[in-house]
Amino acid sequence: MTPEQRRTILVTRRLREAAGYLELGLVDQALQCLEIEDLGPWEGPVSMFKGQILASQGRYLDAAAAFERAAQVFPPPHDRLAWYTLSQCLRQAGDTVRAIQVLGRARGAYPRQYFFPTGGEV
């Protein structure tokens, strides 16, 4: 079995565990399941899931960080949902100006370089 296959098995198992904990209302355990090192290509989906969990708890700034990471790793146009949810979290957290800017990115009004001028990282 290759390291990539092992990683895929580990991540999918942890995602299922986290989903199960969420069904039981055990949010902290669900978040612990998603603390995985070296996610590789799974970083975007796991970050989105973390963001959704955190936003459902009202932890909008923590959720915004997770959605921003997802937006960084998803290639366009697949990053738009991450930008949109990031915008919603920023709005809920009270950062209306940045929420509007990020919403523009979600709609495709601004190029990726506007947010990542140094080549992809903030």
- What pLDDT does residue 105 have? 86
From first to last of its 122 residues, the chain has per-residue pLDDT tens of: 999 999 999 999 999 999 999 999 999 999 999 999 989 999 999 999 999 999 999 999 999 999 999 999 998 888 999 999 999 999 999 999 999 999 988 887 666 556 555 554 43
Residue 122 located in a structural domain: no
The whole-model pTM stands at 0.83
Residue 121 located in a structural domain: no
Residue 95, H or E segment: none
- What pLDDT does residue 121 have? 45
Count of structural domains, the chain: 1
Burial class (CB in 10 A: 0-12, 13-18, 19+), 85: buried
Contacts 24+ apart (CB under 8 A), 53-56: 53/18, 53/22, 53/27, 55/85, 55/88, 55/89, 55/92, 56/27
- What pLDDT does residue 76 have? 83
Asked if 84 and 106 touch (Cβ cutoff 8 Å), the reply is yes
Residue 33 located in a structural domain: yes
* Other beta carbons less than 10 A from residue 4's beta carbon: 10
What range does the domain containing 77 cover?
3-115
The CATH number that applies at residue 96 is 1.25.40.10
Calculate the alpha carbon distances from 6 to 11, 12, 17, 42 in Å. 9, 10, 17, 13
> How many helices (H) and strands (E) would you count in the chain?
7, 0
- What pLDDT does residue 115 have? 56
